[in-house]
Homo-oligomer: A and B are copies of this chain.
Amino acid sequence: MGAVTDLVTFGETTVRLSPPRGDRLETAPSLDVRVSGPESNVAVGAARLGVDAAWLSKLPDSALGRRVVAALRGHGVRTGVAWADGDADRVGTVYDDRGANARVTAAIDDRDGSAFTTITPGELPGGVVESTDRFHTSGATLAASDRARSTALDLLATAGEAGVRRSFALRHGSRSTGEDRRNRQRGRDRNGGAEPAADIYRDAFDHVDTLFVSRHEARTVLSCEGDAVEIVHSLRTEFDLETVVLTREGAGAVAIAAGSVHEGPAIDGAHRDPDGTDDAFVAGFLAERIAGGDVSDALERGEATAAVTGRIDGGTAIVTGEEVDAVIADHDATER
């Protein structure tokens, strides 16, 4: 982990247990095992697109903990893990299901008491955040526990002091996470529940250059109404952000950066599994930026990465740069 990287992410990664398509959690004889987290999904997607990406977190040294690391390393992500011992030795677990709607939803959120909730900055490998180009985390991390939140803020501050560009995805029950209202409430519970959800995130905005937010989140969490362009303008002003990227389900993303508004293409993903598509969008966006692309190219690459990911079961962006390029080329050809 000592090497200089392009992108460092920080957050909890869970084991997700999912019934096979067509079956339900209550009756499925077996559950598919996958590894997913808002920040590690970004790291995997970016690494697969050529970025030298790393992920920082805390896990128990168990078969499930090792499984999380193996999955990420297999996709080329460097891992900087604080291995828990003693009390906090759970891996956070999420059970998927399909119920009142056709989408996969996180039916049971069983992350309480996970090793990650006990994380402190001192447990993580030193010097990693300072020596990267970009740092990324999400609202799910802030909501995980008080310790997770203060560690995230600490890392954001450290990165900022080192001149590292910092991005943040709100990830507060977005379309991609499939987290329903019940889980969002629980997210608040994990944080104590005293302060409104938005307040948890506002502290982070002080340390952030780029914010990724869905239109639904902008409205329900940040109480920001209007059309897409109005929202990005308003959020940029309110939180003094350099870049705001607003994703819209079924429509292209809109970004404001350096005062200019950019609109990305709406690439039809015919989504098979929406879990992870927002993370894939972030991965594609950051990969393009790291490769030197401009914001418009980044929007396009983000949408294309999300489109490919939406065709795969599970939240991991098992994509290649060639495939993403092909989606972009196809889309361009069709539009003309």
Task: Say how far A65's CB is from chain B's closest CB, in angstroms.
Answer: 9
Which residues of B sit under 8 angstroms from A73, Cβ to Cβ?
73-74, 76
Q: Report whether A29 and B33 are in contact in the complex, using a CB–CB cutoff of 8 Å.
A: yes
Which residues of B sit under 8 angstroms from A272, Cβ to Cβ?
22
- Near B by CB (< 8 A), chain A positions 70-101 give 70-71, 73-76, 90, 93, 95, 97-101
Taking the complex as formed, is A287 at the interface, i.e. its CB lies under 8 A from any CB of chain B?
A: no
A107-B63, A110-B90 known; A311 vs B98 contact (CB < 8 Å):
yes
- Near B by CB (< 8 A), chain A positions 109-160 give 110, 112-113
Can you name the residue of chain B whose Cβ is closest to the Cβ of A23?
A: B313
Q: Report whether B311 and A102 are in contact in the complex, using a CB–CB cutoff of 8 Å.
A: yes
Which residues of B sit under 8 angstroms from A99, Cβ to Cβ?
308, 319-320, 323, 326
- Near B by CB (< 8 A), chain A positions 222-246 give none
A32-B29, A330-B101 known; A313 vs B108 contact (CB < 8 Å):
no
Interface string of A37-68 (1 = CB under 8 A from B): 00000000000000000000000001110110
Number of A residues whose C-beta is below 8 Å from B?
Answer: 55
A22-B272, A74-B74, A110-B90 known; A63 vs B31 contact (CB < 8 Å):
no
Task: Say how far A66's CB is from chain B's closest CB, in angstroms.
Answer: 5
Cα separation A74 to B70 with both chains bound (whole Å): 4
Task: Name the residue among A90, A93, A99 with the largest chain B CB count within 10 angstroms.
Answer: A99
- Near B by CB (< 8 A), chain A positions 302-331 give 308, 311-313, 318-320, 322-324, 326-327, 330
Which residues of B sit under 8 angstroms from A330, Cβ to Cβ?
100-101
Taking the complex as formed, is A273 at the interface, i.e. its CB lies under 8 A from any CB of chain B?
A: yes
Indicate which residue in B17, B112, B327 contacts A113 across the interface (CB closer than 8 Å). B112
Taking the complex as formed, is A28 at the interface, i.e. its CB lies under 8 A from any CB of chain B?
A: yes
Task: Say how far A269's CB is from chain B's closest CB, in angstroms.
Answer: 9
Which residues of B sit under 8 angstroms from A273, Cβ to Cβ?
22
Taking the complex as formed, is A220 at the interface, i.e. its CB lies under 8 A from any CB of chain B?
A: no
Taking the complex as formed, is A261 at the interface, i.e. its CB lies under 8 A from any CB of chain B?
A: no
Can you name the residue of chain B whose Cβ is closest to the Cβ of A189?
A: B87
Indicate which residue in B29, B62, B63, B101 contacts A29 across the interface (CB closer than 8 Å). B29
Taking the complex as formed, is A260 at the interface, i.e. its CB lies under 8 A from any CB of chain B?
A: no
Taking the complex as formed, is A25 at the interface, i.e. its CB lies under 8 A from any CB of chain B?
A: yes
Task: Say how far A69's CB is from chain B's closest CB, in angstroms.
Answer: 8
Taking the complex as formed, is A184 at the interface, i.e. its CB lies under 8 A from any CB of chain B?
A: no
Residues of A within 8 A of B (CB): 17, 21-33, 62-64, 66-67, 70-71, 73-76, 90, 93, 95, 97-102, 107-108, 110, 112-113, 270, 272-273, 308, 311-313, 318-320, 322-324, 326-327, 330
Pick 27 A–B contacts, CB within 8 A, sort by A: A17-B17, A17-B31, A21-B22, A22-B273, A23-B312, A23-B313, A25-B64, A25-B67, A26-B66, A26-B67, A27-B70, A27-B318, A28-B33, A29-B33, A30-B30, A30-B32, A31-B31, A31-B33, A64-B95, A71-B74, A93-B93, A98-B311, A99-B320, A99-B326, A100-B308, A100-B324, A113-B113
